[in-house]
């Protein structure tokens, strides 16, 4: 099958998110017999993706990012559509409008599908901005257009699929689900069994979270929980930066200093995705004390799958997005909420049972092998496309 994929990916701001599309393209081509052309905006970076791709020029200035992507992306889309003649076209809610000539004016045999990885419209955040509310309206408009004019939609979780079917009256068979995955050859604990903790983490119980530093990932609450425990041999490692314009990293650094935790909390700069398994290998537990809000329940964080693949016990909030993956296995320690007290209790429990956590973590490896490899996700996407094609 020939697939033309136009997500609004950008090399300079989507360095982590590109992982999903890079791995999915590889699996679709190597193991599913597809030919995939994917578009990425901005200056190429071989450290992020080394496969051939359609380059889209953008102007990296606020609103001009969107406008330049829509203009230059549309030109590239038309060119490659007529040259490539794909059987399936996958767009997202930003590039969805590229389909208008084909869905309304020029009926074709190509399938047009919208893939939405980020649930915008039903976010329950109390701190929603005008931009957030605008995105909800825009997303609803995009979904209406998809329902009326396009062939189908894919989303990241079954939970989100249920929400979309309920709120927009989609037929269930018109929405497919494929979530986050992991390369189990790269994220293999056996590969790093001889990897030792860096000197300054020796003789310490190491907690870890990697990815974006923000206010809604339980990081501030976790730091407060460490202060409550007052254990010098427990430390937290964060790998990543705040998004451009956010003060989250500065604020968490101030909190660390205020609580005198400079020797217990370490913030490391972002590293290439290929180096993430090495860093995960020296932590004892991962921690994802996320707030129980609609955004996270509709999501499937890729880092969760990566921690489980590396055999790590994950301390996480008891909500759908984690329960659906982990179930009742010992590789997940669920907290009732992300309050300081709940997090502190969970950390202390894992610390007191640290001689068992390696064994508990093995259950996570099996979970990933059974349902969360990139190969499994690519087959889910392809099965959905094939089902649409047979109608």
DSSP lists the bridge partners of residue 206 as 235
End-to-end CA distance of the chain: 16
pLDDT tens-digit map of 174-190: 999 999 999 999 999 99
pTM of the model: 0.93
DSSP lists the bridge partners of residue 235 as 206
**Range with lowest mean pLDDT among 3-7, 9-13, 25-29, 319-323:** 9-13
**Over residues 283-311, mean pLDDT:** 95
Range of the domain at 383: 2-181+373-389
**Over residues 87-103, mean pLDDT:** 94
pLDDT tens-digit map of 215-259: 999 999 999 999 999 899 999 999 998 887 789 999 999 999 999
Contacts of 108 (CB under 8 A, 6+ apart): 102
Residues 367 and 378 in one domain: no
pLDDT tens-digit map of 8-64: 999 888 877 899 999 999 999 999 999 999 999 998 888 788 899 999 999 998 889
Residues 138 and 212 in one domain: no
Residues 103 and 250 in one domain: no
Residues 38 and 55 in one domain: yes
3-state SS, residue 140: helix
For the beta sheet containing 332-335, the strands, ordered from the edge strand earlier in sequence to the opposite edge, are: 265-268, 234-239, 205-210, 285-288, 313-317, 332-335
Residues 103 and 236 in one domain: no
Residues 201 and 146 in one domain: no
Contacts of 288 (CB under 8 A, 6+ apart): 209, 217, 218, 301, 303, 304, 314, 315, 316, 317, 322
**Range with lowest mean pLDDT among 156-160, 229-233, 244-248, 328-332:** 244-248
Confidence of residue 105 (pLDDT cuts 50, 70, 90): confident
Confidence of residue 124 (pLDDT cuts 50, 70, 90): very low
Residues 32 and 101 in one domain: yes
Residues 138 and 56 in one domain: yes
């Amino acid at each position: 099958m020939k697939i033309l994929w136009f997500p609004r990916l950008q090399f300079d701001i989507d360095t982590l998110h590109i992982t999903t599309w890079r791995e999915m393209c590889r699996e679709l081509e190597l193991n599913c017999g597809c030919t995939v052309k994917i578009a990425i905006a901005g200056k190429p970076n071989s450290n992020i993706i080394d496969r051939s791709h359609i380059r889209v020029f953008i102007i990296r200035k606020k609103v001009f990012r969107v406008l330049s992507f829509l203009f230059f992306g549309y030109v590239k889309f038309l060119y490659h559509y007529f040259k490539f003649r794909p059987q399936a076209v996958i767009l997202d809610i930003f590039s969805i409008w590229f389909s208008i000539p084909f869905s309304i004016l020029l009926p074709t045999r190509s399938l047009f599908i919208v893939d939405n990885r980020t649930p915008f419209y039903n976010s329950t955040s109390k701190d929603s901005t005008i931009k957030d509310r605008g995105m909800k309206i825009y997303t609803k408009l995009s979904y209406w257009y998809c329902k009326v004019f396009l062939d189908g939609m894919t989303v990241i979780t079954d939970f989100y699929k249920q929400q979309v079917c309920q709120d927009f009256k989609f037929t269930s068979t018109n929405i497919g689900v494929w979530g986050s995955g992991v390369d189990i050859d790269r994220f293999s604990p056996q590969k790093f069994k001889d990897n030792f903790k860096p000197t300054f983490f020796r003789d310490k119980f190491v907690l870890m979270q990697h990815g974006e530093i923000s206010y809604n990932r339980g990081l501030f609450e976790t730091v407060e929980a460490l202060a409550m425990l007052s254990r010098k041999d427990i430390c937290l490692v964060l790998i990543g930066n705040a998004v451009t314009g956010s003060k989250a990293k500065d604020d968490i650094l101030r909190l660390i200093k205020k609580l005198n935790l400079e020797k217990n909390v370490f913030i490391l700069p972002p590293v290439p995705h290929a180096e993430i398994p090495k860093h995960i290998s020296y932590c004892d537990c991962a921690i994802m004390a996320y707030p129980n809000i609609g955004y996270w329940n509709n999501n499937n964080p890729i880092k969760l799958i990566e921690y489980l693949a590396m055999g790590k016990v994950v301390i996480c909030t008891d909500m759908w997005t984690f329960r659906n993956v982990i179930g009742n296995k010992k590789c997940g320690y669920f907290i009732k909420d992300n309050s300081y007290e709940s997090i502190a209790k969970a950390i202390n429990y894992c610390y007191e049972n640290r001689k068992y956590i390696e064994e508990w973590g093995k259950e996570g490896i099996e979970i990933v092998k059974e349902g969360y490899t990139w190969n499994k996700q690519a087959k889910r996407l392809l099965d959905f496309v094939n089902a649409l094609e047979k109608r």
